[in-house]
Amino acid sequence: MSKRVYIFVNGILNDPGSADGWTDRAVTWTNIHSDACGEKYEYACGALTRRLFQQRRAEKLAKMIDYYAHAFGRWDVVMVGHSNGCDVILRTLQLTNAPIAELHLVAAACEADFELNGLGNRIRSGQIRQVYVYMGGRDTALQWAQISGRLLRPFGLGYGSLGRTGPVNRPELFSSAVETIVEPEFGHSSWFEKANLENTMDEIVGRQF
């Protein structure tokens, strides 16, 4: 029987030294409420500086994933990203061939087109078995990201809008591998607020005891 690890990746304006960040709470929840292992990849960056070390973050995350993929015994790797963390994950997937059991993209500030962001090919190849896209109906942060993205895209800047538009050009033959979860009243960070964390983690991990 394979073991499962959930790797949580934060977005911008995160303090890696805090014990109260959503990644910290998600790891603790996973370890307490399931027989899976919780892991986190954390980093600090601002809204305007995220591009500076984005590729370096992806390289470090790819190394973490490969540790599990090549560890003794089989590990099912599940990746969970929020906002800019989803962009880090997509870049990471370009650097590793490790199989991914599930990909949870929460309020994703990354490319929405599955033929441009690489997810279409990775689903077709079997590298990724299942993708979940989480969308909030009151996500004003991604609303602005969508507007600014059109203006800044020619300069290689701006944020993607997957968490607002939902998947674009999802592979029709593999449509069952892509699921969208919508919470009409949620804003950009509502998913991991204390009042909602239990339900979000139930959705992602599920209680296994």
- DSSP readout, 97-161? ---EEEEEEES--S--BTTTSSHHHHHHHTSEEEEEEEEETT-HHHHHHHHHHHHHGGGT-S---
**pLDDT for the residue 130:** 95
Cα–Cα distance measured from residue 88 to residue 66, given in angstroms and rounded to the nearest whole number: 16
Q: Which CATH class is domain 3-204?
A: alpha beta
Residue 126 identity: G
Pick from 79, 56, 75: nearest CA to 67: 75
Strands (E), 13-74: 37-41
pLDDT at 150: 57
pTM for the model stands at 0.91
Share in percent of the chain as helix, strand, coil (round to 5): 40, 20, 40
Local confidence pLDDT in tens for the 209 residues of the chain: 679 999 999 998 888 888 889 999 999 999 999 999 999 999 998 877 777 889 999 999 999 999 998 886 789 999 999 999 999 999 999 999 999 999 999 999 999 999 999 999 999 999 999 999 999 999 998 886 665 555 555 444 557 889 999 999 876 656 789 999 999 999 999 999 999 999 999 999 986 64
Q: State both tokens at 110.
A: 């990354």
pLDDT tens by residue, 156-184: 455 788 999 999 987 665 678 999 999 99
Instruction: Classify 38 as helix, strand or coil.
Output: strand
Residue written as token pair 């994950």: 89
**pLDDT digit string, tens, across residues 90-112:** 999 999 999 999 999 999 999 99
Closest CA to 135 of 147, 149, 124, 146: 146
Domain chopping of the chain, boundaries: 3-204
